Every structure is written in C-alpha cells, then in structure tokens.
Structure 1
Amino acid sequence: MKDRMLVYLTVEYSNGRDQILVGKSLQLLLQTVGRNGGKAQQLATSADGIPFKLTNALDIDTNTGMIYFTDSSKTFQRRQILFSAITFDRSGRLLKYDPRTKEVSVMYKGLAFPNGVALSKDHSFLLVAESIKMRILKFKVQDGGKGYVPEQLVQLSRIPDNIKSNEKGEFWVALNTGRESIQTDWLGFSIDPIGVKYDQDGKVLKQLDGNGGLTFNSVSEILEFNGTLYLGSVVKPYLGIFYA
C-alpha cells in the first residue's frame, strides 16, 4: 500500500484565479482544485516525454497564471531521497506549466535535487533551492538562451528546503537538516539557524535560531504573513508559530 500513499509536498493558492495547485510526490502529477473543494483536475504528468518522478514545490505567476515547479529527480521517488543524495543524483528539473497552451516545458535540467521555488515580486526571476549542493540558484523567468547558466545567489552550510516570499519581496529559506553539528560564534554563542531571510541580492536580513532545541527539527517551510512566521515540516508532526 505504500506505493499508493499520497504525499502532498506543496499546496499553493492562486489569488484571483480561485484555484489551489497541488503537487503530489507519489502520484507524480500536478493538480488543481477549486477554492471550494471538489474533485481535483489533473494538469500534467510529464515534460518532454519524461514522466514526473518527484514533483516537489511550486509557485504561481498571478499575472499570467504560469506555474513554476520542480521535479526533484527523474530516478528516485520521495521514499528514496537518501539514495538521491548518496549517488549525487543530478537529474532534477525546473519546469513551467503554461495554462494557455496546457503544456509543460523544461526551463533547466541537470539539477541536484531542486526543491523549493519562489517567484520574485516583480516576476522577473525565480529562486530555486538545490538541496544536495546546499545552495540557492537565481533563474531568469525569460528564456536565457542556449548555454544559459543560473546565478548562484547563496551557498549554505545546511540543506535548504522550501523557499517562500513575503509581501515585501523578501525570501525565507527553510534549513531542513544539519542541526546535529551546531557551531558557535567568537563569543561562544550557539549558531543554529533553522531558517534565513534574504533580499533579492542574497543579503541576509534575518536568521531564525533554533537555540539548540529539538522542537523544530527538520523545518521544511517558513511562511511569513502579517509579521507572523508559520513553520511546518514534511516529516515532523508540528506547526510552529513565531511572532515578530
């Protein structure tokens, strides 16, 4: 029965379009649901003739309806993430679904477990967490042409998971693992980041400290709304709330 279990790795509401976009990692598809619920409508199951294997995160351009999402691996599914890491799998893809043509195109391939994805406030670029390489990449929304290489915005010391933008156009990156090796600064205080907020140029604006505690292990996502931070995990049973 495990192969039939549904794992929802991302859910996004498209404001103004009255739809909820859902990425399912074990059903290997992208779906949409009306704001009042009902039966899900399948949007896509493959790109360039290659079926999705591990659809992960998505973001929506509310001006065009374009959906940007990641397929973390062409080889491994959600339950096989460890194998993806130890083999340094680089079959992940950044994809784009066009609601007008109802087609999926490949924006970039050869990524080492692309994870979170977030669109900039001006809709000109995307940030993508490349988890295995522990870095954040910056992609132009417009086609960069043949041989295009994305900019490395940030190199991290812990594995990034989801990325969420706030109303100011800043980005929260959840740091999922690495808390077993907590560092100290020059004054002897612990450095235990479970999330970092960046501006569009990769400058650190704020760091959320786990303080060495066990409560917020495996933080998968940080969402900022009206000055409050909401933390979630794909493997731990908690919802964390921080008041700024």
Structure 2
Amino acid sequence: MRPHRWTPPQPTARARQTHSDPPMPPTRLLPLPGQGPEDVVVLADGRLVTGTADGTILRVDPATGAVEQIAHAGGRPLGMHAEADGSLLVCVAGRGIFRLAEAGAELEVVVDELDGAPLTFPSNVIRDDDGTLYFSVSSRRWPLEHWITDLLEHSGTGQLVRRDPDGRLEVLVDGLQFGNGVVLAPDRSCVLVAETGAYRITRHWLTGPRAGTTDHLVENLPGLPDNMLLGSDGLIWVALASPRNLLLDKLAPLPGILRRLVDALPPSLKPAPVRSVWVLALDFDGNIVHDLQRDGADYAMVTSVAEHHGTLYLGSLSESAIAVTSKPAA
C-alpha cells in the first residue's frame, strides 16, 4: 500500500443528515437467489437485469417478482448496459467487458486488455448508437475485493476509456479516484464519470469549444457516488453507496503510516459504509433535482439506481434483493 496524502473538501451540512426532505417514498423488495445485485438495468420490455456475487446474471420481472438465470459471467458482474435488442454489455471483475447477445448465450469478449495489461477492474460501461463504448476503470492497483484499500490509499489510478467501433482504445481521462458510474449526455456533448474516492462527478467534453478538456459537473458530494444511469426523465441518477466517512476524511491528510495501520486491521474493524439508502438526480448543469435518503435498517449500500417512468430500481453490493421505490410527484 502506497498512501497518497490529500485534503478532502469540508463536508457540507447535508453530509451529516440521515434523512432527506421530502423523505424517500417507501420501498418494496424483489428477493433474489443470490447476494449483491451491484448494478440494475432496465430492458426495453420493462424487465430488469442484474448480476450477483457468484457470477450469475439474472432477469427479473418487477411486476411478478419472477427471477430467471440467463447467463453466468465467470466472475463478479459489475456495471451493465442494456441494448434495445435485449443484448447486454457486462463489466466482469477480474476478466474485462463482455457482451451477452441473448439469454443462454455464451459471453463474448469485448475488451480484456488495456495498454497491454489485463483489464481487471472495469466498473461501468455504456454504448452509443454508433457502437462507441465508454467505460470506467476503478483501479489499476487493487482488485474488487480490496476496494476499501484503494479508497484508503487514494491511488488515483482510475480511468475513463473510449472504445471506437473499430476496436481502438483511448484513455480519455487518467488519474481518477476510483472511477465508477458512466453517463453519456443525450446530445453527445460530454461523458460523465463518478469518482467515488473524490466525492465528485467528472465531465469530459466530446464536442464544442471545450472538446477534449475535462472539468467537474459537481464536487463535494455528501456521499460516495457509485453507479450512475440516465433516467427516462432525462436526469442523471446517482447512487450514493454511503455517506461520507469522517474517519477516512480525517486520515487523508495525515502521514500514510496511519492508513497502512488501518488497512492492516481485520475487516470487522476497518471503516465501513454507513447503512443508508440514498440516491440523487442531477441535471446536466449539476443541479440536484431529487435528493432521496432514508435509514438502511432493511436495505443498505445502494450501488445503483435505475429510473424508469417514475419508478426507481435500486441495487446493492451487499443485499439479496432489488429495492423498488418511486421518485416524488412533481
């Protein structure tokens, strides 16, 4: 472990609150035969797809709760992207990015190397209509099972990458602090990537006078942003896996030996995500349109949110269900 000192932004008052105003509407659960639906996406027919920790890819009918296995990823499925024809792109921890053409088919390799090295921690992927892919890499230092170590180290080895239709790869943004969710603007003007370890959403411009430059859509978020999806309402829906951890913030500017000591502790004694259910919706100017949070008594560590015609489907790295709620009425 090679800790990098940094000074986090001062947490806002919102970071210390445990409920939103208005409150998050009640949730119901869609039980799954496995743990950790890290990402949830909506198919064109309204059914859901997710993956669990054992590598299973599941299709779920939100109306009936019926669950069917449609594939096995051969590793831990992370971010997914659903195509209009029902095919899927799947980031698989330790393996790369794959395509599932249809239920029951074998997964096809899309990207498994980057700059001559194995693509071991792809986090999220989206596809434009012309076949261009944009995907994030969380860390080139640590695998998924050591994600807390990467946040403690503040490695800054995450990336935002473009894959052209001809297969050419280009790193658009390097040095991300745990790159995570990815969203492409509907007008293709920019692509957004969540930086979990920096509490911000970074924007890379694709067109216009700022093309090729990078800035931040929003900084100093009150929690740790994870997966993001463009909702049917045109908003950017962001899952906050946990509120800010004050211990992590206090350790960050101090000598790295302290974080090495914390990292050496048994898992039960390391800093852990606070149990919370929290999602945000932003517009493309960085304004918060919806802020929905409640305590995590029966569901927690929300790592994804998919909005579909007013319904919100939540995934989690630790739970054995998809949570369903709704956004407030306008």
Same-fold call, TM cutoff 0.5: yes
Moved more, 227-236 or 18-27: 18-27
* Whole-Å separation in 2 of the counterparts to 1:81 and 1:132: 10
* Whole-Å separation in 2 of the counterparts to 1:130 and 1:216: 23
For residue 86 of structure 1, give the secondary structure of its aligned residue in structure 2: helix
Q: Which amino acid aligns with 2:306?
A: L
For residue 150 of structure 1, give the secondary structure of its aligned residue in structure 2: strand
TM-score, normalising length: structure 1: 0.84
* Whole-Å separation in 1 of the counterparts to 2:197 and 2:78: 18
Per-residue Cα deviation, 1:53-82 (whole angstroms, up to 9, x for no partner):
2111111112x1111111111110000111
Contact 1:47 1:106 in 2 (8 A): no
Contact 1:217 1:236 in 2 (8 A): yes
2:229 corresponding residue in structure 1: 164
1:186 corresponding residue in structure 2: none
After superposition, where does 1:186-225 map in structure 2 within 5 Å?
194-210=278-294, 212-225=295-308
Deviation at 1:37, TM superposition (A): 3.7
Deviation at 1:193, TM superposition (A): 6.6
- Which of 139, 142, 154 lines up with 2:219 in the alignment? 154
More strand by share: 1
2:68 corresponding residue in structure 1: none
Q: Which amino acid aligns with 2:206?
A: V
2:317 corresponding residue in structure 1: 234
Is structure 2 residue 201 aligned with structure 1 residue 133? Answer: no
2:91 corresponding residue in structure 1: 23
For residue 69 of structure 1, give the secondary structure of its aligned residue in structure 2: strand
- Which of 81, 92, 111 lines up with 2:176 in the alignment? 111
Per-residue Cα deviation, 1:72-115 (whole angstroms, up to 9, x for no partner):
1111000011110111110111011122x122221111111011
Per-residue Cα deviation, 1:185-206 (whole angstroms, up to 9, x for no partner):
xxxxxxx770111111011111
Q: Over aligned residue pairs, what C-alpha RMSD do you find?
A: 2.2
Deviation at 1:35, TM superposition (A): 2.8
Q: Which amino acid aligns with 1:197?
A: A
For residue 302 of structure 2, give the secondary structure of its aligned residue in structure 1: coil
Structure 1 unaligned regions, length at least 5? 182-191
* Whole-Å separation in 1 of the counterparts to 2:298 and 2:277: 13
* Whole-Å separation in 1 of the counterparts to 2:313 and 2:233: 17
Contact 2:277 2:301 in 1 (8 A): no
* Whole-Å separation in 2 of the counterparts to 1:117 and 1:22: 13
Q: Which amino acid aligns with 1:207?
A: D
1:243 corresponding residue in structure 2: 326
After superposition, where does 1:68-147 map in structure 2 within 5 Å?
68-99=134-165, 101-142=166-207, 144-145=211-212
Identity fraction in percent:
26
Q: Which runs of 4+ in 1 moved over 6 A?
A: none
2:83 corresponding residue in structure 1: 14
**Residue 37 to residue 103, structure 1, CA distance change in 2 (3 Å):** farther
Q: Which amino acid aligns with 1:170?
A: L
Structure 2 unaligned regions, length at least 5? 1-53, 55-72, 247-275
TM-score, normalising length: structure 2: 0.63
Q: Which has the higher contact order (CA 8 A, sep 6+)?
A: 2
* Whole-Å separation in 2 of the counterparts to 1:174 and 1:31: 23
Deviation at 1:49, TM superposition (A): 2.1
* Whole-Å separation in 2 of the counterparts to 1:43 and 1:141: 23
For residue 148 of structure 2, give the secondary structure of its aligned residue in structure 1: helix
Per-residue Cα deviation, 1:23-73 (whole angstroms, up to 9, x for no partner):
10122x1111113441111111122223212111111112x1111111111
**Residue 152 to residue 200, structure 1, CA distance change in 2 (3 Å):** closer
Looking at CA atoms only, which structure, 1 or 2, has the larger radius of gyration?
2
Q: Which amino acid aligns with 1:48?
A: D
